[in-house]
Structure 1
């Protein structure tokens, strides 16, 4: 049986992943509306990935006989001026998720819940990959001199995002 503190944090993480899926779906919608099909596909894929993360935690909680409580989530941001704003919003969101995962891992370790700690290690590695990915995207934008404005750089960034594989 998981300790109540761990159960609470896992449940918060399930809901955070649910929210993350909604964030990326909203970012995809913004890109689609802006005619950025490559970016829309990239963010849609991320939405599905976050849903997979939610399911993974959901399954772990079920295996541990911990009831999952899906709460209402806040509306994700939907107003952006440029694709660069969208990319920055996604990166900032990943940094917040990393903080939550690290807190969960630290708490599991401190409470000597090594099974949960071991489970969360996969998410630690996943968050590292996400931060590296968005760091590379931002570096590519900087290399191109892309600030989000219409033009050739926007076209290049849209195509670049279309072909990124996690």
Structure 2
């Protein structure tokens, strides 16, 4: 059985993962509206990954005898600036997710909830990959700027992203 404290924290993380999916869908639509279909595709794939992350947490919570308590998901912003700003915001958001996962991991450790600690280890590792991947995109965008042919090359490259 999972503690009420851990149950509440997992429910909050589920909500945050679902917000992430909404945020990335909105960012993708923003990019598509500027004819950056490749960046839009990358963000759509990212949104589906965030939904999968939430589903994995839901399964874990229910398997531990916890109760799922879904909350309203805040609406994401409507404007994100240029593509560079979109991915800078994406990196900032991933850092927020990392901090939240780390806090959950610490809670599991403090409660001596070994099952949660082990399950959350996957998310800790995933966040290292997420931040590294988005950080690389931000670096590439800063290198080429938001004008000229190189950004369209990057857009084309981002359109080839498949699911991990």
TM bucket (normalised to shorter chain) is over 0.9
State the match for 2:160 in structure 1: 163
In the alignment, the residues of structure 1 paired with residue 131 and residue 143 of structure 2 have an alpha-carbon distance, to the nearest angstrom, of 18
Alignment of 1:14-163 (within 5 A): 14-144=14-144, 146=145, 148=146, 150-163=147-160
What is the rounded CA distance, in whole Å, between the counterparts of 2:6 and 2:65 in structure 1? 13
Which runs of 4 or more aligned residues in structure 1 lie more than 4 Å from their structure 2 counterparts after TM superposition? none
Q: Could you tell me how far apart the structure 2 residues matched to 1:77 and 1:158 are?
A: 22
Q: CA deviation at 1:164?
A: 4.0
**Offset, 1:78:** 2.2
The size of the alignment, in residue pairs, is: 163
1:3 corresponds to: 3
- The normalised TM-score by structure 2 is 0.94
Larger displacement relative to structure 2 (48-57 or 80-89): 80-89
Cα distance in 2 for partners of 1:40, 1:119 equals 31
CA RMSD after TM alignment: 1.2
Aligned partners of 1:89, 1:124: CA distance in 2, in Å?
A: 20
Deviation string, structure 1 residues 63-112 (Cα, Å, up to 9, x no partner): 11211111111111221220011111111110000000000001101110
Where structure 2 has 5 or more consecutive residues not aligned to the other structure, the ranges are none
Q: Which runs of 5+ in 1 are unaligned?
A: none
